[in-house]
Amino acid sequence: MYSEKEVTIYDIAKRLDLSATTVSRGLKDNPAISKKTKKRITDVAVEMGYRFNTFASNLRSKRTNTIGVIIPRMNSSFMSDVLAGMEKVANEANYNLIISQSLESADKEAVNIKTMFNNRVDGLMVSVAYNTNGVSQFEMLLQKGVPVLFFDRTLDHPMCPGIIIDNQKSGYLATRHLLDQGCKNIIHITGNQERNVYSERQKGYESALAEAGIELNKDQTFVTMLDEQAGIDCAEQILKMSPLPDGVFVDNDNCAANCMMKLMDSGIKIPEDIAFIGFNNDPISKIIRPALSTISYPGVEMGQIAARKLISHLNGQQNINSTNSIVLRSELIVRDSSLCNRL
């Protein structure tokens, strides 16, 4: 069992054989305390799990009615939908959200987690960064009994449930659609295979190819950052291939759209030469021409379910670990970019 005992400046003072006044001043960066002593105090405070008090001292034993949210990036239509769902549920339950972005950096994510910890959030909801490795950075919260819930991009931890879609099935459906259109040489543009969302979509891509009797070529899986520049870079890589692929499945609509535009600027016809399907059903998928086929999944619903599950736990209505994961629906949306009908 994790202890919920709060570490105080007196605990730190005892550990360092210093006065509580010295520890307090050191934590407040008082110039009367030497840099060496400040570092000793800070290092031990972090080691012992001390939470730097950013609120009034009487909040030590009370809830703050604040929930932290960490997302990879703000400039995502899907994440905006998720946050809208979370905020609606949180506001109705009289909770506030503190929202930060990791900018796809595990280091920045770790700083965000510490900030949430020091701000005494009652719980934390996280979609992990591109290069996050392991769950150790969340232990400071879990050891204090602060629940952590993952959504979309998740990590495996017995105390941290996840809200996801069936990414393997979605990857299969996207690839199967291209195969049904007669594509036989299909590229998969994906992300870091350490992330559940991308590794599962890759599995779906591979299973659809195997079912169709097409041998897997690992050179046809492009692992990228899935941003706009990645789309352009992948297009340049595709243009050098011989023969050209006849289908492309991309794990992000913005990346897919930029890849398509670069190829079309180079004289490639979409979908006549290369059929395309993306992922997320972002607004750009409806604007680009030809309109982009995609996989849609419910961001608002994901945010609402995540917030309800966490708040139910905080209010003592349902233990957060009553279910390990919740799987939401996804949907194949067929538009002009993939309708090549080569059969």
pLDDT at 58: 37
Beta bridge partners of 250: 189
- 55 lies in some domain: no
pLDDT at 30: 84
* CA 99/CA 104 separation, integer angstroms: 15
Encode pLDDT of 44-75 as tens digits: 988 888 876 544 443 444 678 899 999 999 98
pLDDT at 134: 84
pLDDT at 53: 58
pLDDT at 342: 62
- 195 lies in some domain: yes
Q: Are 196 and 163 a contacting pair, CB within 8 Å?
A: no
Q: Are 221 and 190 a contacting pair, CB within 8 Å?
A: yes
Q: Are 305 and 290 a contacting pair, CB within 8 Å?
A: no
* 305/287 same-domain check: no
Using 50 as the pLDDT threshold, list the residues of the chain that sit under it. Answer: 1-3, 54-61
Question: What's the total number of domains in the chain?
Answer: 3
Length of the chain: 343
pLDDT at 276: 98
- 57 lies in some domain: no
* Residues 6 or more apart whose Cβ sits within 8 Å of residue 226: 189, 190, 191, 250, 251, 252, 254, 255
pLDDT at 62: 62
pLDDT at 4: 57
* 151/184 same-domain check: no
Cross-sheet strand order for the sheet of 247-250: 221-223, 186-190, 247-250, 275-277
* 174/322 same-domain check: no
* CA 179/CA 185 separation, integer angstroms: 9
Residue 193: count of CB within 10 angstroms of its CB: 14
Range of the domain at 289: 167-297+332-338
